[in-house]
Structure 1
């Protein structure tokens, strides 16, 4: 079974991120449910569902202008990684049993390595926003 190396995963994620445009973010956000379903349904990547939800929340808050304290490279990496997961024909096509999803897991893991600090900062901001909204209610 062919396995994707961390270097290959990072390279694939970077390729997607470099090409990502704002219209692609809209596409990712519209495909959120399908991407999350794909993540949930595959043993090799379902451990990333919580982080994927945070990644989508970050993209949504960036898209709506609620959260702009993040570099474009982080948005591009997150959007590129999620687009990669959604694409059925990627480095290892998804129709190949098991191996077809290992590359998706590798790309998500590579993305999280690159954007972890920004994602944690965003998650903390989101918790504070939710507390503030609850206090105002």
Structure 2
């Protein structure tokens, strides 16, 4: 049985509808743990998307903490729903099935990433800018001169 686009959309919608702001925090923690666990041996089905998945996790974390709220809830619930599906150990195609276990996860994550593509790009710019500002402030507090 193949995992169709229709099935992926169904699973994404199902998980997105279950997202709440409270669940988003748990989803974020769970997805961070799973990404860290898989970092050294990335599943082949997720290889090309790995950076995008990590960005989705970072955006979810920033949203859950209240640091970044520039994403419409509809998009955030889809991203959170896709990450929630990703962390489920037993889903439509269980992750322990070596060659196929992450194919369904990849399909659901890809749909959410496509839906959130502009928001993910905006988040990356915000995140990089925030990090640069934090570094400049730390440098200034350490006594280094900062040129503006």
CA distance in 2, matches of 1:65, 1:11: 29
SS at match of 1:44: helix
CA distance in 2, matches of 1:13, 1:35: 19
Tell me the equivalent position of 2:107: 106
If the length of structure 1 is used for normalisation, what is the TM-score? 0.87
Deviations 1:84-124 (A, max 9, x none): 01112212222334222110111111111111111111111
CA distance in 2, matches of 1:135, 1:26: 29
Larger mean CA deviation between 14-23 and 86-95 belongs to 86-95
Q: Is the 8 A contact 2:16 2:77 kept in 1?
A: yes
CA distance in 1, matches of 2:10, 2:68: 27
Tell me the equivalent position of 2:14: 15
SS at match of 1:67: coil
For residue 62 of structure 1, report the CA deviation from its aligned partner. Answer: 1.0
Q: How does 1:1-137 map to 2 (within 5 A)?
A: 2-36=1-35, 37-38=37-38, 40-136=41-137, 137=139
SS at match of 1:99: coil
Larger mean CA deviation between 92-101 and 72-81 belongs to 92-101
**Segments of 4+ in structure 1 off by > 4 A?**
none
C-alpha root-mean-square deviation of aligned residues, in Å? Answer: 1.8
If the length of structure 2 is used for normalisation, what is the TM-score? 0.82
Q: Is the 8 A contact 2:19 2:81 kept in 1?
A: yes
CA distance in 1, matches of 2:28, 2:136: 29
Larger mean CA deviation between 62-71 and 127-136 belongs to 127-136
Q: Is the 8 A contact 2:12 2:78 kept in 1?
A: yes
Q: Is the 8 A contact 2:32 2:57 kept in 1?
A: no
